[in-house]
Each structure stands twice: as C-alpha cells, then as structure tokens.
Amino acid sequence: MDYIIEKHRIYATDKDGKMLADIEFPEVSTGVCEITHTYVDDSLRGQGVAAKLTEMAVAEIEGQGNKVTASCSYAIKWLTKREGREIHICPACGLRHHSQ
C-alpha cells in the first residue's frame, strides 16, 4: 500500500479514491502534535495497518522536531505498549503529553 504523507496527516486510498487508512496529527501547541484520529478500512483490519500508520506518524512528527501526544485511543495504547510512553493530561494547559 502506498501512503501519502502530508504535514499533519498520513493516508492511503485505493485506485478509486476510497479511503483505506488515515491518521491525523495536528499541531495543538507550538512544537506539539497530537494524534487525534486513526482509521483503517474493515478490509485491512488485523493486518498491522494502524500500527504502521502510528509508527509513521510518530517518525514524521519527531522528524519535524515536534513532540508527540495523543487523544486517539489506539495511538495512546500503541505509544504506551510499543514506545513505553505514558500519556497524561497536563493540569496547567489541559493538553495530553507523553513522558519517556
């Protein structure tokens, strides 16, 4: 599958333009991008596509020099399990942050 990488989004479509996979990570504050959404078409579930999207998003975010946070439940689980990161809500700003 070929992925299209944009500044705050990575996605893949089929030849007819149907969305197959999508992850969004807008910049929520200066230097912080939040993974807000992960989508994988039913036909691709269970094949590691969401994990691949999340891995690519983290690499893209950090490659831009930004920090990663997440509100997407899948991304939170992935970051905690795969990366050993803990997501918490900062009482000062209300944003979710990670620690390593």
Going by pLDDT thresholds of 50, 70 and 90, the confidence category of residue 80 is confident
Written as one letter, the residue type at 8 is: H
CA distance 88 to 14: 36
pTM listed for this prediction: 0.82
Kindly tell me if the per-residue pLDDT of 100 is higher than 50: no
Cα distance from N-terminal residue to C-terminal residue, the chain: 31
Q: Which domains are delineated in the chain?
A: 4-99 (3.40.630.30)
What does pLDDT average to over the chain? 86
